């Protein structure tokens, strides 16, 4: 027993854990690894496969259920970004623990739920999916909002290009290199015009899940809450924002308070929506997502 204890202390001296900066928001961004090959081998539909996107959303939902500290996640294509509030103390903010827990939980559910979304002949999982994950700290609400806005803008830009590209390839019978050359240097208006004039596709009528991405979050609201949030004054919004942006001292929560909030989070509904998260409305109606009291 004594030897075991000595060995444990000795071997742990070689560990070099990285503790993420306190009093900052943490975004854990998960990406599919070698997914071009994975999607090809499993015959994903182009430009969007609703089965695959719904599987990603379901895996993110289960990840939120397993990790109640995560209030919101945003996903596009083969990636998902999970937010931890700046007062989060999960695993003492050890980077490797946070990253490995999120990526393993998500991947496990992705495999487990596969057969629910890919059914029928040829729908079997023929090779293991792989995801990587990174952690980035953001000091302010504004930084977090900018991050999610960037990802949603990227979703629109990439999806518009892919919609035009695959329309040329699948319906216009144009080779992939020729399609790339035709779209090179074009603007959004050019792609919209190409889709409508040549293929009768109004891009604005494409499913919102494709154009806006997926927002998976904990919803504590009841109808009365939504009405109250909708009538909040601009002064109240600005005061709340100023408080969040200028608070310098980390909030220290007792063990009892953390347990209470965890139970509360587990009872919350987890919903998936395809909505705008660039503007203020989404965040104003859901202040708890950025660390406000529920």
Residues 6+ apart with CB under 8 A from 26: 20, 83, 84, 86, 88, 93, 98, 135, 136, 137, 138
219 known member of a binding site: no
The tokens describing 271, both together, are 């919903």
Task: Give the count of beta carbons closer than 10 Å to the beta carbon of residue 178.
Answer: 13
78 known member of a binding site: yes
C-alpha separations of 128 from 32, 54, 101, 151 in Å: 11, 18, 18, 26
32 known member of a binding site: yes
Helices (H), the chain: 2-12, 35-41, 50-66, 95-117, 141-166, 176-183, 188-199, 208-212, 223-230, 234-246, 255-267, 281-285
* Nearest Cα to Cα of residue 133 among 27, 54, 59: 27
280 known member of a binding site: no
Beta-strand relationship, 131-138 and 25-32 = antiparallel
Spatial separation of the C-alpha atoms in residues 294 and 286, rounded to whole Å:
9
Indicate the annotated binding residues for Mg(2+): 31-32, 78
Indicate the annotated binding residues for GTP: 77-78
Indicate the annotated binding residues: 31-32, 77-78
């Amino acid at each position: 027993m004594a030897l075991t204890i000595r060995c444990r202390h000795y071997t742990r001296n070689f560990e070099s854990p990285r503790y993420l900066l306190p009093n900052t928001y943490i975004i854990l961004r998960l990406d599919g690894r070698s997914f071009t090959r994975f999607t090809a081998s499993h015959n994903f539909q182009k430009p969007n496969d609703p089965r695959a996107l719904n599987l990603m959303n379901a895996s993110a939902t289960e990840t939120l259920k397993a990790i109640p500290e995560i209030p919101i996640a945003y996903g596009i294509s083969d990636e998902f970004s999970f937010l931890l509030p700046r007062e989060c103390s999960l695993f003492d903010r050890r980077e490797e623990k946070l990253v490995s827990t999120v990526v393993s939980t998500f991947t496990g559910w992705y495999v487990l739920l596969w057969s629910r979304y890919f059914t029928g002949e040829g729908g079997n999982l023929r090779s293991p999916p792989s995801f990587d994950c990174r952690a980035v700290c953001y000091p302010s609400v504004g930084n977090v909002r900018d991050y999610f806005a960037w990802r949603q803008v990227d979703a629109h830009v990439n999806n518009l290009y892919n919609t035009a590209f695959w329309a040329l390839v699948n319906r216009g019978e144009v080779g992939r290199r020729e399609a790339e050359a035709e779209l090179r240097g074009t603007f959004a208006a050019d792609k919209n015009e190409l889709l409508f004039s040549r293929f009768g596709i109004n891009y604005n009528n494409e499913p919102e899940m494709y154009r806006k991405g997926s927002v998976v979050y904990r919803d504590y609201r009841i109808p009365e809450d939504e009405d109250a949030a909708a009538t909040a004054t601009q002064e109240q919004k600005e005061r709340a924002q100023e408080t969040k942006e200028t608070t310098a001292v980390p909030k220290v929560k007792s063990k009892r308070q953390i347990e209470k909030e965890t139970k509360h989070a587990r009872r919350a509904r987890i919903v998936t929506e395809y909505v705008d998260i660039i503007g203020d409305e989404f965040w104003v109606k859901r202040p708890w997502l950025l660390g406000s009291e529920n």
